[in-house]
Structure 1
Amino acid sequence: MVHRGVNNTAPRAAYYALASNVAVALCQYAAAAYTNSGSALAEAIHSSADCVNQLLLLMGSRAASNRADKQHPLGFGRETYFYALLVALQIFLVGGVASVTVGVVRLLHRSPLEHPYVVIAVLCVSGVIEASALQASIGTIDESRRKAGLWKWFRETGQPQLLLAIGEDVAALGGVLASLVAVVLSVLTGSPVFDACGGIAVGLILMSTAIFSMREIRSLIVGEAAHRHVRQAMHAWLSQRPVVGHVVSLIVLKWADHLVVAIQAELRPHGSADELVRTIDRIGNDLKSAFPLAKWIFFEPKLREHGSHPL
């Protein structure tokens, strides 16, 4: 089973989201100032925070591209985890908490909604832009992974930048829909309470997105194994090698866009140490050809009497 390499899709998704958020934020601030809408203001704050988030993701992508050095022999790929955590925290604090605060203030100091149809028009346009950005970001996911379902991809991906870019787009679209419903209800009832509640709803959506994202990023920082089907495919590949008697242990760890592979296996008897080294080198090279994401491979031959899984 051969797995294709991953291209640098996360920056593309970040650029899509950045362009859409700049356009949407400008429209929403104008609408909030003109109509006195709390929902529009909450959405504008959300879009502004997203612009900063995309810049942070692009900074993380650039930092991760630095070459390995003596202090960081496996490279800087995990820099993306650090920047992704900053983004998730900002989504929670700047986007979520700020939007809830705006909604609560509007709820306590109610003021009538002016020119509501302008807000509705801006939110509809924002929804179209956000939906287009979301579709473009989802399109950067590998087709085979995309067919398995977006939720499954969210739980399994080792690309926090792309996860956050898509998560932000989903939250943005949900926030626009919540704001639109709130404004429409305010128009129908004549009560500004619904508009204020729309701002609170936007904040809660953002906070939920941030909590979910931080949970996934935490798992990656701690050290998360590759997807089960990748581990199973790699185990099957090793077991089918004529020189491999038994795979004792196989650890496949996500490392940014790549994999760190640690193998303990019994090998068939070899006539000399040189032959054993050549066999191990050949297994490593062939494994990289079959699984291009396996950038670092550590192989430890084991004797049967020592062959117990370390976990």
Structure 2
Amino acid sequence: ALEGYSTRKAVGEFNKRRGPSGLGFIAALRASKDPTLFAIVLEDSAAMVGLTIALLGTMAADFGGYQQADGIASILIGCVLGFVAIFMSGEIRSLIVGESASRSVRAGLNEIIAQEVGLDKPVRTINEIRTMHLGPQEVLVTASVDFEDWVSARTVEDVTARLQQTIKARFPEVQHLFIEVQSEKAFQANKTAPSTAASAAH
């Protein structure tokens, strides 16, 4: 009963934070950036599944005369715990090594910056946008942007300030935003420099 109550509370809190995302339960767990929350949900859910398997195994052995049921139940419980351990280690590892923001956030960032690109617009092209989670609700964003040659320093400052305001208003989790003014030619040169140096070393 206590495990059931704990699981219900954990899943309820998880669903509250998930909101109307349209994602399934497993997909939402994978998309979650809060290891504390999904660890509790998985731990409690695994405990409930394990208790259910143990109960069924005991009933099958005691009332059904199927003595192997206890052993099978133990193996199944071990499989459940193994699955949870593998799932959690993979998700937490991705956060430790710097997991990028969700696909919807990355698409939104590109959409916002792309509004400054076009005929008579100050931005010539978007070289690159990179994101990294520093915490459950803390995202670092760096963007390399090539401005048109006619753009003044004042316009660059205005566009940068406008982008920062728009992005942080739409995505409050973006707490660190750096926009680098870089020509497309320089960006491509920097991108190929490491591979060129590595080839020369060999």
Instruction: State if a TM-score over 0.5 links the two structures.
Output: yes
Q: Secondary structure at the match of 1:167?
A: helix
Q: When the two structures are superposed, what TM-score results if normalisation uses the length of structure 1?
A: 0.53
Give the conservation status (yes or no) of the 8 Å contact 2:112–2:166: no
Q: Which residue matches 1:306?
A: 186
Cα deviation, residue 275, structure 1:
3.9
Asked if residue 290 in structure 1 is aligned to residue 165 in structure 2, the reply is no
Q: Which moved more, 1:228-237 or 1:151-160?
A: 151-160
Q: Which residue matches 1:249?
A: 128
| C-alpha RMSD of matched pairs (Å) | 2.4
Asked if residue 232 in structure 1 is aligned to residue 107 in structure 2, the reply is yes
Give the conservation status (yes or no) of the 8 Å contact 2:7–2:41: no
Distance 1:289 1:130, change over 3 A: closer
Distance 1:143 1:246, change over 3 A: same
Q: Which residue matches 2:15?
A: 139
Asked if residue 162 in structure 1 is aligned to residue 26 in structure 2, the reply is no
Q: Which residue matches 2:49?
A: 174
Q: Which residue matches 2:156?
A: 276
Identify, as 1 or 2, the structure richer in helix: 1
Aligned letter for 1:218?
R
Aligned letter for 2:20?
S
Aligned letter for 2:25?
L
Q: Secondary structure at the match of 1:189?
A: coil
Percent identity, please. Answer: 23
Q: Which residue matches 2:138?
A: 258
Distance 1:244 1:204 in 2: 54
Gap runs ≥5 in structure 1: 1-22, 25-125
Identify, as 1 or 2, the structure richer in strand: 2
Distance 2:31 2:93 in 1: 13
Q: When the two structures are superposed, what TM-score results if normalisation uses the length of structure 2?
A: 0.79
Distance 2:9 2:80 in 1: 18
Give the conservation status (yes or no) of the 8 Å contact 1:130–1:173: no
Alignment of structure 1 residues 48-67 onto 2, 5 Å: none
Q: Which residue matches 1:222?
A: 97
Gap runs ≥5 in structure 2: 193-202
Give the conservation status (yes or no) of the 8 Å contact 2:168–2:174: yes
Distance 1:199 1:129, change over 3 A: farther
The number of equivalent residue pairs is 185
Q: Secondary structure at the match of 1:264?
A: strand
Cα deviation, residue 155, structure 1:
2.2
Distance 1:283 1:205 in 2: 46
Q: Which residue matches 2:81?
A: 206
State the structure with bigger RCO (CA 8 A, min sep 6), 1 or 2.
Answer: 1
Distance 2:170 2:10 in 1: 32
Q: Secondary structure at the match of 2:86?
A: helix
Cα deviation, residue 266, structure 1:
1.4
Cα deviation, residue 231, structure 1:
0.6
